Amino acid sequence: MIYIYDTLTRQKRPFIPLKPPEVSIYVCGVTPYAEAHVGHARPAVMWDVIKRHLTRRGYFVRHVQNFTDIDDKIVRQALAEHEDPKALAERYMAQYTDVMQRLRVIPPDYAPRVTENIPQIIAFITELLNKQMAYVSGHDVYFTVTDDGTYGQLSGRKIEDLYAGVRMEVHEGKRAPQDFALWKSADDTEPGWVSPWGYGRPGWHIECSTMAAQYLGRQFDLHGGGLDLVFPHHENERAQSMGYFGCEPASYWVHNGLITQDNVKMSKSLGNGLGLREILEQIDPVVLRTYLLSVHYRSPLDFQLASAEEWGRGLQRIWRLWDEAKNQPAPSEWVDEPWARRLESFEQRLAECLDDDFNTAKAFAEVFEMAHDVRYGMAQGHGALALAWARRNLQAADQILGLLPETSQVLSLSTMAERLLSIREQARARRDFQEADAIRNLLAKAGYTIEDTPEGPRILSQPSA
């Protein structure tokens, strides 16, 4: 049984899909007006693991993640960069997709865009108007937030408390300060669409209600996004969807903790977000990916490049083991010892970690312990068996966590390296260690690390830490 923490009920609940074996997921995507930063990578990587785990547990996942490709910020940024808003959005969407691919994130099944769903949005708003849940004010349309006890449940606040917020936006046309825009008028120099209420653009929250319903139906299983979206975005989205359909849109609201830098939240408006492309120039994508998974998704994560590199040093031990194990056949020997038993049950334990609200941090602890058992088995004279299990288990872990290196750490020897190594071996044989060390240093300068193992020397593509 899988347990998932649900923001609405504030508890971990058993996961029961609406229509098993299908699982429907809606994750709020990005507004593409700037480069993606680490804060965007966390939910992407986390949902990737959730999907992989659900899939292995036998579910059939349908994942929708939107692009809010039209918005005031895009218009503003396009003006600043002297670029067509559509082209700008297109550019950043491509960049986002590219960088997530490098992080081994399986793309969503549908990545709908606001600009391609305008008629549906207008229809959604029209229905809300018909139901008297919204009102027209000039050329704008607002949603009426009613105090029926449901609004505020998700974010845990009361409407009267909202008045306490000094910075609550005041709009001429609003009947109540907590009402929010469904349709915003725009002048004709800006991008927009003709609607029954005039030329304009959709408000911020309506696109998610509309597209979730469009691609997943009125009710779906999991709704995701960053913790910073709980209010007002998800609160408003829930109000719209419930207003339209009269039922809870999502069975579980799943929110990831935010990433900070020097203990300050990363955000586009603060301009302190470390760009993902910049980070990936300094750090291996798999190291970054797994570093993000080394902390439970609901906890805050203070991102430090040094911490990620430190994590990478630990991960390298796993990679080295993989190099030794990757060509092993399936285990063929039977040894009735605790370490062998544990290797046998590794995959099951890994899955159980993830069953518990996707505890990837604990899952990694299992991976490291599994590596210890392999080494122990090897030391007990069961090298072939232990490595066979290592291959199997690391592959299984990789399918969910995506932790194995892109390419082998051990290089196939080039002719020149082979010759150098052979000369060094001859030197070592005649105990001319001065020359042997000279050759090793030479190769080290070129970025290669030589390790003398009982099976002979091998060359690694990265200097050992």
Q: Using an 8 Å Cβ cutoff, are 85 and 78 in contact?
A: yes
Closest approach of RNA to the CB of residue 180, in Å: 8
Strand partners, 198: 195
The reply to whether 451 sits near RNA by the rule CB under 7 A is yes
Radius of gyration of the chain (CA): 27
Site for RNA in 414-433 (CB under 7 A): 428, 431, 433
Task: Report in angstroms how near the CB of residue 346 gets to RNA at its nearest.
Answer: 13
**Helix, strand or coil for residue 452?**
strand
165 binds RNA (CB under 7 A): yes
Determine whether the annotation assigns residue 131 to a binding site. Answer: no
Pair 350, 363: CB distance under 8 Å: yes
Q: Which two tokens stand for residue 99?
A: 């960088």
DSSP 8-state class, residue 117: -
Instruction: Examine residue 99 and tell whether it contacts RNA (CB under 7 A).
Output: no
- Kindly report the number of other CB atoms within 10 A of residue 39's CB atom: 24
| In the complex, minimum distance from the CB of residue 377 to RNA, in angstroms, rounded to a whole number | 9
To RNA, the closest distance from the beta carbon of 227 in angstroms equals 6
Based on the shown chain and the rule CB under 7 A, indicate whether residue 392 belongs to the binding site for RNA. Answer: no
Residue 237 labelled as part of a binding site: yes
Cβ contact 107:133 at 8 Å: no
**Site track 12-41 with RNA (rule: CB under 7 A), x = hit:** x---------------xxxx-------xx-
Residues 37-76 that bind RNA (CB under 7 A): 39-40, 42-43, 68, 73
Query: Considering only residues 280-309, where is the footprint of RNA by CB under 7 A?
Result: 294-296, 299-302, 307
Show contacts of 175-181: CB within 8 Å, 24+ apart: 175/135, 175/137, 175/142, 175/144, 176/144, 176/145, 178/145, 178/151, 179/142, 179/143, 179/144, 179/145, 180/142, 180/143, 180/145, 180/204, 180/205, 180/232, 180/236, 181/140, 181/141, 181/142, 181/143
> Which CB sits closer to RNA, 194 or 411?
411
User: In whole angstroms, how close is the CB of 433 to RNA at the nearest point?
Assistant: 3
Interface map 245-284 toward RNA (x if CB under 7 A)? -----------x-xxx--xxxxxxx---------------
Strand (E) or helix (H) holding 252: strand 250-256
Instruction: State the minimum distance, in angstroms, from the CB of residue 322 to RNA.
Output: 11
Q: Is 12 annotated as a binding residue?
A: no
Pairing of strands 220-226, 22-27: parallel
Of 102 and 458, CB closest to RNA? 458
Q: Per rule CB under 7 A, is residue 139 in the interface with RNA?
A: no
Residue for token pair 């300094």: 282
Q: How many binding residues for RNA (CB under 7 A)?
A: 89
Going 429 to 433 to 435 to 438, the CA torsion angle's sign is positive
CB 267 within 8 A of CB 30: no
Shortest Cβ 27–RNA spacing (Å): 8
Q: Is 173 in the site for RNA (CB under 7 A)?
A: no
Query: Residue 330 CA to chain centroid, in angstroms?
Result: 32
Query: Is 158 flagged in the annotation as binding?
Result: no
Q: Which is nearer to RNA, 125 or 439 (CB)?
A: 439
Q: Mask of contacts with RNA, 348-377, x by CB under 7 A?
A: --------xx-x-xx-xx--xx-xx--xx-
Annotated ligand binding at 234? The verdict is no
Q: At residue 266, what is the residue type? A: M
Q: Which residues are annotated as a binding site for Zn(2+)?
A: 28, 208, 233, 237
Q: Which residues are annotated as a binding site for ATP?
A: 268
